[in-house]
């Protein structure tokens, strides 16, 4: 079970594509220790109830490093809780705990890096690429680029095997492949991309993006041929799904039985992009103090078991984010049941490029 904890809704950056950008100034909520501890208890119980033996506690925000105190507290609390559960026989001796963090990388110091190393954190670093690429959208509160605050930390992120997460807006397209190579040259061995679908993508934008994806696929192909390790999720995730013959929702997406997101006020959501302390937010699944709302859970479960009508007959539906990923549909359309035409176009284009690349890789 992946327990995603939104420790704070605040952030020291103001990225142009942030899905909280319109509400950023009003977002002040932080998670208190009582909610944090209860969320971890719920995460442990739910992991156990699904017969799983791994609890991943993921620190999320806003920027979670604004709450280093809460991260230290949560790690100590979770370790003690799991040790107690093993002692009591509530969970098996093979039960284990892991920690991950999604961060913009600007607030790290040596002490926190040492802590992450000691606790074997998995790091996901939001870094779009080199300075001219990063500073297009990732800007501070006073509207200066954030690259300068991250660059000095890159060697330590690399040492901790961080995955670089790069976001693509229409303004990033033409320097995308170059940025992927740059990240690899800095030493990152794993990266992936996500697209900011803002409702303004044109067919010309998609053609330019397709050229960049082809260049990235070629670069990944050459790295693979030369035995140079580089996990490029943008390309490899689709190839892996195709080769496995499995459905995205059962392979990479673990909503419902494998993931829950907790807002600062303890409200429970299906995954990261839904999380908010807004009480009237859709898709709320309950609260850590009052338990799961069984009706809301049953509705989500029914959705996950079904296919979208608009996609009937589409060959790639079980590999398509618009069809399979609840978060993508939610943030692009406001409903998990709906389809964004932009995502549909993107998924068709990217799948074709990945399939071509896979065919080349298989034929040697």
Under the criterion CB under 6 A, does residue 162 sit at the interface with ligand SF4? no
Under the criterion CB under 6 A, does residue 126 sit at the interface with ligand SF4? yes
Choice between 76 and 341, CB closer to ligand SF4: 341
For ligand SF4, which residue of 66, 344, 349, 361 counts as binding (CB under 6 A)?
344
Choice between 7 and 326, CB closer to ligand SF4: 326
Question: 114: part of which helix (H) or strand (E)?
Answer: helix 110-118
Under the criterion CB under 6 A, does residue 254 sit at the interface with ligand SF4? yes
Query: By CB under 6 A, what part of segment 20-79 binds ligand SF4?
Result: 20, 61-63
For ligand SF4, which residue of 5, 15, 65, 260 counts as binding (CB under 6 A)?
15
Q: 61 CB contacts (<8 Å, ≥6 apart)?
A: 6, 7, 8, 9, 10, 11, 67, 102
The site string for ligand SF4 over 195-234 (x = CB under 6 A, - otherwise) reads ----------------------------------------
Q: What are phi and psi of 220, to 5 degrees?
A: -60, -40
Q: What are phi and psi of 58, to 5 degrees?
A: -110, 125
In sequence order, the β-bridge partners of residue 123 are 101
Choice between 128 and 184, CB closer to ligand SF4: 128
d(CA 361, CA 222): 10
Q: What are phi and psi of 344, to 5 degrees?
A: -60, -50
The site string for ligand SF4 over 297-336 (x = CB under 6 A, - otherwise) reads -------------xx--x-xx--x-xx-xxx---------
Question: Which residue in this structure is represented by tokens 């170059």?
Answer: 178
d(CA 172, CA 175): 6
CB neighbours (10 Å) of residue 355?
Answer: 15
Choice between 17 and 219, CB closer to ligand SF4: 17
CB neighbours (10 Å) of residue 96?
Answer: 13
Q: Could you tell me how many residues of this chain bind ligand SF4 (CB under 6 A)?
A: 32
Residue in 86, 204, 185 with CA at minimum distance from that of residue 130:
185
Under the criterion CB under 6 A, does residue 264 sit at the interface with ligand SF4? no
**Contact positions vs ligand SF4 (CB under 6 A):** 11, 13-15, 18, 20, 61-63, 104, 126, 252-255, 259, 271, 310-311, 314, 316-317, 320, 322-323, 325-327, 339, 344, 347-348
């Amino acid at each position: 079970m992946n327990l995603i904890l939104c420790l704070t809704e605040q952030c020291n950056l103001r990225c142009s594509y942030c899905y909280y950008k319109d509400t950023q100034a009003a977002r002040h909520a932080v998670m208190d220790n009582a909610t944090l501890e209860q969320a971890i208890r719920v995460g442990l119980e739910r992991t156990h109830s699904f017969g799983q033996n791994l609890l991943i506690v993921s620190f999320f925000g806003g920027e979670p490093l604004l709450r280093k105190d809460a991260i230290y507290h949560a790690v100590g609390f979770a370790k003690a809780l799991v040790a107690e559960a093993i002692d009591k026989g509530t969970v098996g001796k093979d039960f284990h705990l892991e920690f991950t963090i999604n961060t913009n990388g600007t607030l790290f110091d040596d002490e926190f890096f040492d802590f992450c190393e000691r606790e074997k954190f998995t790091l996901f670093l939001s870094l779009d690429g080199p300075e001219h690429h990063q500073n297009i959208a990732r800007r501070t509160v006073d509207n200066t680029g954030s690259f300068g605050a991250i660059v000095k930390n890159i060697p330590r992120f690399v040492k901790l095997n961080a995955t670089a997460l790069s976001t693509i807006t229409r303004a990033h397209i033409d320097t995308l492949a170059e940025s992927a190579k740059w990240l690899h040259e800095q030493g990152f061995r794993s990266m992936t991309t996500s697209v900011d679908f803002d409702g303004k993508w044109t067919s010309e934008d998609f053609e330019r993006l397709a050229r960049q994806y082809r260049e990235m696929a070629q670069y990944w192909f050459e790295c693979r041929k030369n035995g140079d390790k580089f996990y490029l999720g943008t390309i490899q995730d689709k190839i892996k799904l195709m080769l496995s013959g499995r459905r995205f929702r059962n392979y990479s997406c673990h909503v419902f039985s494998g993931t829950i997101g907790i807002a600062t006020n303890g409200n429970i959501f299906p995954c990261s992009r839904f999380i908010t302390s807004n009480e009237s937010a859709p898709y709320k699944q309950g609260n850590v103090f009052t338990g799961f709302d069984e009706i809301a859970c049953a509705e989500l479960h029914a959705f996950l078991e079904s296919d979208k009508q608009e996609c009937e007959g589409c060959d790639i539906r079980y590999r398509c984010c618009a069809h399979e990923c609840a978060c993508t549909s939610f943030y692009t359309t406001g409903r998990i049941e709906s389809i964004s035409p932009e995502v549909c176009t993107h998924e068709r284009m990217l799948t074709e490029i990945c399939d071509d690349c896979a065919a080349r890789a298989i034929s040697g």
